[in-house]
């Protein structure tokens, strides 16, 4: 499957919220639910997405917008998996904003797509500052990163509707306190759903897939 | 030990290189070598630093500048370990720039400090874009993040004189190709030293401590 790659320009920050609303209206009109996936580099965004797509692809038509500074390795993986995807190069920018998403949507024909994942740039700071126009924000925190991350990157954990605690198959090898991380997330964001899973083994995926299905109803 | 916490203002980007040179001149005048430590969130910066300080504290006077968006947990750990430290709050900024370092140095008396570590904000994008005035840039990449990170964050691996591959004690549980990561780093940055170690177990630290000692001579 050929990969479409586009270079986008950064938008004017002040106009961002307005463009984000336009993106949501555009997606709503197309019947597309857009999920913005954010995480540190190496938290397992791509692996988790691939397994998620595999679980839902028979029920829904799925697309992926891959955002990276300049690489295209993730879109290549999506294409290999047979997923309709577009690679966005942010040209050095550390996060997608609504204007970038807007530009990408013009290039990426989303007709007939029920569920559009955006895999944002690996970053816990800049990505949290931008309304991308997504319907939901999901943050992936992996066990090896440690349970103190909500203390250090509070904005990220405040803007998400769902936090996936990933790589729980490695929990025996890292000091990671499930109860402490959940409490730290809920102190910032009482309504956030916290789901423990492993993109590698599939453990915990039922709950995550059910979370997505509920949003798609 | 009491922690000094300061809030800094972001500098004007155009002037940054000039201020970075001022920072280097200031540190040189004081006889202080400054090392900028960069990494993803959760790559093990603090653990690696604590072990490094432990290995060198009898030989050299060491200080730590902790940069975080708003938390102070790392400076508290440094204080518990008896290290002279200052906590810098970047007020939402995703990286330290030279102007922030300049402000912090005014507050943090570095008289008599031979070796000053700056633990930058956990981020592989913004941090790489700023000359902080450090004498050397060191990037920590941890095994759980994956060996593809140089492909996705090329600027970071281009601006470092040394890359520490951390958490090698977890190498059996993650697919991580030592030769591939080294080749990817050297393709971007042929002169970078690549050192494999574990902040947790201490494996590989001899080489890293020797690297630092050579710079301090």
**pLDDT per residue as tens, chain A (217 positions):** 456 677 766 655 678 999 999 999 999 999 999 999 999 999 999 999 999 999 999 999 999 999 988 888 888 888 888 889 999 998 888 899 999 999 999 888 899 999 999 999 999 998 999 999 999 999 999 999 999 999 999 999 999 999 999 999 999 999 999 999 999 999 999 999 999 999 999 999 999 999 999 999 8
Residue B189 near residue B157 (C-beta atoms within 8 A) = yes
DSSP A67-90: EESS--HHHHHHHHTT-EEEEEE-
d(CA B76, CA B68): 12
Measured CA to CA, the distance from residue A74 to residue B84 in angstroms comes to 42
Please provide the average confidence, as pLDDT, over all residues in chain B.
Answer: 92
- B193 C-beta neighbours (distance < 10 Å), count: 16
A73 touches chain B (CB under 8 A): yes
Considering only CB atoms, which chain A residues are within 8 Å of B70? 154
> What structural domains and CATH numbers belong to chain B?
4-216 (3.40.50.300)
Three-class DSSP category at B30:
helix
Contacts of A49 (CB under 8 A, 6+ apart): A37, A64, A78, A117, A119
Interface test with A, best of B71, B144, B181, B201 (most A CBs within 10 A): B144
Q: How far apart are CA A143 and CA A135, in angstroms?
A: 26
Q: Which of B41, B92, B144 sits opposite A124 (nearest CB)?
A: B41
* Bridge partners (DSSP) listed for residue A67: A88
Lookup: tokens for A40 = 């540190």
Residue with tokens 């791509």, as numbered in its chain: A46
The answer to whether ipTM exceeds 0.90 is no
> What pLDDT score was predicted for residue A26?
97
Contact check, Cβ <8 Å, B123/A121: no
**Mutate: best of A126, A140, A144, partner B, most B CBs <10 A:** A144
Nearest to B170 among A148, A155, A173 (CB): A173
Report in angstroms the alpha-carbon separations of B212 from A12, A29, B18, B39, B201: 43, 58, 26, 18, 19
Sign of CA dihedral A77, A43, A158, A91: negative
Question: What residues of A are in contact with residue B144 (Cβ under 8 Å)?
Answer: 42, 142, 144-145, 167, 170
Supply the pLDDT for residue A124. 92
Collect the ranges in chain B with pLDDT lower than 50.
1
What pLDDT does residue B7 have?
72
Q: Can you tell me whether residue A164 is helix, strand or coil?
A: strand
Q: Does A13 reach chain B within 8 Å, measured CB to CB?
A: no
The pTM for the full model equals: 0.90
CA–CA gap between residue B79 and residue B180 (Å, rounded): 38
| Burial class of B2 by CB neighbour count within 10 A (0 to 12, 13 to 18, 19+) | exposed
pLDDT (0 to 100) of residue A213: 97
Q: Which of A143, A125, A192 is nearest to A163 (CA)?
A: A192
Query: Cα–Cα distance between A42 and A22 in angstroms, integer?
Result: 31
State the pLDDT at residue A9.
63
Residue A173 phi, psi dihedral angles, 5° rounding: -105, -5
Chains A, B: CB contacts within 8 A come to 103
The rounded distance, in Å, linking the Cα atoms of B128 and A53 is 33
Cβ-Cβ contacts under 8 Å, A145 against chain B? 40-43, 144
The widest CA-to-CA distance across chain B, in whole angstroms, is 47
Shortest CA gap A198–chain B (Å): 13
**A121 in contact with chain B, both atoms CB, cutoff 8 A:** yes
Cα–Cα nearest to B94, from A130, A180, A101: A130
- The helix/strand count (H/E) of chain A reads as 8, 8
The answer to whether A166 and A141 are in contact (CB under 8 A) is yes
- How far is A41 from A122, CA to CA, in rounded Å? 4
Report the C-alpha gap between A1 and A84 in whole angstroms. Answer: 8
* Cβ A8 vs Cβ A82: under 8 Å: no
Q: Mutating which of B92, B124, B125 best tests the A interface, going by the most A Cβ atoms within 10 A?
A: B125
Q: Name residues whose C-beta falls within 8 Å of residue B99's C-beta, 6 or more positions apart in sequence.
A: B8, B9, B10, B11, B12, B15, B16, B19
Q: Does A125 touch chain B (CB under 8 A)?
A: yes
Is A25 part of the contact surface with chain B (CB cutoff 8 Å)? Answer: no
- The model's pLDDT over B100-145, given as tens digits with 9 standing for 90+, comes to 999 999 888 899 999 999 999 999 998 999 999 999 999 999 999 9
Give chain A positions within 8 Å (CB) of B167. 144
Mutate to test the interface with A, among B43, B48, B120, B152 (most CBs of A within 10 A): B152
Query: Using an 8 Å Cβ cutoff, are B69 and B90 in contact?
Result: yes
DSSP secondary structure of A132-150: -S-SEEEEEEEGGG-TTHH
Give the 3-state secondary structure of residue B161.
coil
* Residue A59, min C-alpha distance to chain B (Å): 31
Whether residue A145 lies within 8 A of chain B, CB to CB, comes out as: yes
Q: Residue B113 — left, alpha, or beta (φ > 0 → left; ψ -120 to 50 → alpha)? A: beta
Q: Is A124 on the interface with B (CB under 8 A)?
A: yes
The confidence score (pLDDT) of residue B13 equals 62
Q: Say what percent of chain B tops pLDDT 90.
A: 77
CB neighbourhood size of B25 (10 A): 11
Cβ proximity of B195 and B164 under 8 Å: yes
Cα B42 from Cα B123, distance rounded (Å): 10
How far apart are alpha carbons B156 and B209 in whole angstroms? Answer: 22
Cβ–Cβ of A123/B121 closer than 8 Å?
no
Q: State whether A69 and B153 contact (CB < 8 Å).
A: yes
Partner B contacted by A123 (CB < 8 A)? yes
């Amino acid at each position: 499957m050929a990969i479409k790659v586009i270079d986008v320009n950064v938008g004017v920050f002040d106009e961002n919220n307005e463009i984000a609303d336009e993106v949501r209206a555009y997606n709503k009109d197309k019947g597309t639910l857009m999920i913005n996936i954010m995480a540190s580099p190496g938290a397992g965004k791509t692996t988790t997405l691939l397994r998620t797509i595999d679980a839902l692809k028979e029920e829904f038509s799925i697309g992926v917008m891959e955002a990276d500074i300049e690489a295209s390795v993730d879109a290549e993986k999506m294409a290999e998996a047979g997923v309709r995807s577009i690679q966005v190069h942010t040209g050095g920018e550390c996060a997608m904003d609504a204007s970038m998403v807007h530009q990408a949507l013009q290039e990426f024909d989303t007709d007939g797509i029920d569920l559009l994942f955006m895999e944002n740039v690996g970053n816990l700071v800049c990505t949290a500052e931008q309304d991308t126009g997504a319907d939901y924000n999901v943050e992936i925190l992996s066990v090896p990163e440690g349970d103190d991350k909500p203390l250090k990157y509070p904005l990220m954990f405040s803007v998400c509707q769902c936090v996936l605690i990933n790589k729980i198959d490695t929990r025996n090898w890292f000091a990671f306190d499930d109860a402490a991380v959940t409490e730290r997330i809920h102190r910032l964001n009482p309504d956030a759903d916290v789901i423990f899973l492993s993109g590698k083994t599939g453990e915990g995926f039922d709950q995550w897939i059910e979370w997505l299905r509920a949003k798609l109803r």
